Amino acid sequence: MTQTATRPVSVSELQRAWRAVREGEFRCDSPRPRRGVANPDPECRWSPPGPVITILGCHPQAGVSTLAVAMATVAAPAQVIECASATATGLACAATAELGTTDGWRIGRRGQVHLARSSTALLTPAEVPVPPAFEDPQRLLVLDVGWELGQLLAGQSWVNRTVAEAASAVVTTTATTPGLRRLENALTMLSPLEPAIAVRGPARRRWPRHLEAGLGPLSTHASRAGRLQCIPTDKDLAERGLTGQDLPAPLLQAAAHLLALTAPKLNLMEGTTR
């Protein structure tokens, strides 16, 4: 079998691709539809009908889906769209009521939050189908991006265009040395976007010295600007993942703080961050 060698993509190349997306200097090739996958938007023209917050993970298991549901819960009524493949979903058990499938999406509800996750396996962000139409399109949409950042920025899809054009974004990582390294890389690739930062782990005052020393220049700047929020780790959530149970109060409090950081850019109605 013949194998094709692939060349590693550098951070500078990803930054150039990201700038092209932000400036609209790209085209979207229509991928070959695969069996069971709804046709994606071949021209990347989908745009959210209302306010949107995008949440990106710096690495796997960074807590993106949990944070997306928590922020939507605080802002309810709201909706969450998870862009990950069905094989990588974090929302499989998050709904308290399943509402069926439509156009490649599984729709669910938990309280006043509507959830949508892919019903099929996806290989790239370009295969993510166009989001479903919700009952109230003006509700806040929390977009759980669900793809490795390098893969997202290197391609063309409605997903990375939405990230590029969103007024507000959050990046998540963990309070570990590798997690903070990945955070700095993510902030570098996303520049000039200045997202809020969610760090899953202990409160900042409890960080050991080597973690404080591990903050890079962009991360330090974000911290000094008040854009870094620690997200408390919940043992039950860590073991079970998202279920239909109520989210713990400390997590919702942290989500409310992040929403307060991002909501002013969205012109949300007063009371959204209650």
Percent of the chain residues past pLDDT 90, beyond the cut: 64
At residue 36, the pLDDT reads 42
Contacts of 89 (CB under 8 A, 6+ apart): 65, 82, 117, 118, 146
What the block records as the tokens of 157 is 């899809």
Higher-confidence residue of 168 and 66: namely: 66
**Residue 172 forms beta bridges with which residues?**
57, 198
Interval 35-60 mean pLDDT:
76
Q: Is 186:149 a contact under the CB 8 Å cutoff?
A: yes
- Per-residue pLDDT at 235 exceeds 60: yes
Confidence of residue 4 (pLDDT cuts 50, 70, 90): very low
**Residue 97 forms beta bridges with which residues?**
109
Helices and strands, counts by H and E, the chain: 9, 9
Peptide bond into 48 cis (omega under 30): no
Interval 74-100 mean pLDDT:
94
Confidence of residue 229 (pLDDT cuts 50, 70, 90): very high
Q: What type of residue sits at position 37?
A: V
Buried b / exposed e over 209-234, threshold 16 CB at 10 Å, is: eebeebbeebbeebbeeebbbbbeee
Higher-confidence residue of 47 and 14: namely: 47
Question: pLDDT digit string (tens) for 10-20?
Answer: 666 556 555 55
Candidates 2.60.40, 1.20.272, 3.40.50, 3.30.70; CATH matching 58-266? 3.40.50
Each domain of the chain, given as residue ranges in start order, spans 58-266
